Structure 1
Amino acid sequence: MARLINYLILVALSLAMISATVAEITAPEKEESVAECAQRVGSHCEPKVLKSLAIDKNITVSKSCCYKIIQAGYSCYTKLTLDALQNNKNFKDANVTEVVQKSDEIFEKCDNATEPANELYLAKCVAEIGTKCGAEVFNKLIHNNNTVSECCCGKLVDMGLHCHINMAKALILTPALRDVDAVAFLKKSKKLFHQCHHHHE
């Protein structure tokens, strides 16, 4: 995750995509309660993660739940694991070390599954779309309050879908988008790209 910080600063400075300061974008996670952490992971995902830790070793965490875990952050996710070890009857006879180790393995797998391309590739994407068009695309995706101009649609298409999706993946990991539905955001990003592509055929 640390390797994304340079890119997040680059996004903040180069594209002005997010109406927040660099300090806000790169700020450390604030201390949250177990209840707040559970809410971030979600009522759909939390039971599946706990089940994978306690009962069924073959359960895999879906990509949508992986995004929830990563967006919640390691501190929150670990807090849920430790709370389950203390208060969940399914963990009554569990080996604490093994559960914590498996919890870390799940987080690492989710981190790898949701990780965007490296910062050098992303910097190239940022340079290709430019400040004005990057802001137009971002505002369309987040606020839905503008139409992407024909010129910027062209730049988006020229930049390519792979660049566009990886930039979206990186933005999902910023605190500013912590509560966004990651899978829906990626689908919306892809839909916007295809709309622009259709107009430029």
Structure 2
Amino acid sequence: MARSAIAFPALLLAFFVLLELGLAKQAREPAPGYDSSIEPCLKNMTEECGIEVFQNIFHKGPEITDSCCGVLLKFGHPCHSELIEIVLSTGKFATREAEILQKSTAAWKRCRSIVEGH
């Protein structure tokens, strides 16, 4: 049971990266750059919040909701940074890397401020 709880978010992440790369229909393995060491992190991220955070940082999605900010902080800063780097390593967002890193930092700071009240 615990293994499937970790495997589902990991597969979901791989799917979203593949979807961004346009390979979701033909791929059966995780995306390039996917590192299984991120799996322990993923147990703290929900599907809904993972999508919300991804859309906010990598696309022009809305602000991360307060409830997902709580999930993001539970996910942890090291995991957040590692996940951003994994997605950037695919090359799909190479032209926007500086913008994405800036949005990632801003999202983390905003969520920390909301959750911790700073």
> Could you tell me the TM-score, scaled by structure 2's length?
0.68
Match of 2:88 among 172, 181, 198: 172
SS in 1 for 2:43: helix
Q: Which amino acid aligns with 1:140?
A: N
Q: Which runs of 5+ in 2 are unaligned?
A: 1-9
Choose the corresponding residue for 2:63, options 143, 147, 156: 147
181, 192, 195: which one aligns with 2:107: 192
Tell me if the contact between 2:57 and 2:100 (Cα under 8 Å) persists in the aligned partners: yes
Partner deviation per Cα, 1:128-152 (whole Å, 9 max, x = no partner)? 1121111100100122222212111
Matched letter for residue 143 of structure 1: H
1:12: which partner in 2?
14
Quick one: which amino acid aligns to residue 99 of structure 2?
A
Q: Is the contact made by 2:35 and 2:86 (CA closer than 8 Å) also made in structure 1?
A: no
Choose the corresponding residue for 1:21, options 20, 23, 47. Answer: 23
Report the equivalent of 1:40.
none
TM-score (norm 1): 0.43
Residue aligned with 1:171, SS: helix
Q: Partner letter of residue 61 of structure 2?
A: N
Q: CA RMSD in A?
A: 2.8
Gaps of 5+ in 1: 1-8, 28-115
Q: How does 1:35-114 map to 2 (within 5 A)?
A: none
SS of residue in 2 equivalent to 1:200: helix
Which of 41, 44, 51 in structure 2 is aligned with 1:125?
41
Q: Deviations over 1:41-62 (max 9, x none)?
A: xxxxxxxxxxxxxxxxxxxxxx
- Indicate if the aligned counterparts of 1:129 and 1:159 stay in contact, CA closer than 8 A: yes
1:136 aligns with 2:52: yes
* Cα drift, residue 119 of structure 1: 2.6
CA contact (8 A) 2:42 2:75 kept: no
1:21 and 1:194 mapped to 2: Cα distance? 33
Would the aligned equivalents of 2:64 and 2:107 in 1 still touch at CA under 8 Å? no
CA shift for structure 1 position 26: 4.6
Q: Would the aligned equivalents of 1:12 and 1:21 in 2 still touch at CA under 8 Å?
A: no
Pick from 78, 82, 94 the counterpart of residue 162 of structure 1. 78
Cα separation, 1, equivalents of 2:75 and 2:31: 26
Max Rg structure: 1
Give the partner amino acid of 2:109: H
SS in 2 for 1:176: coil
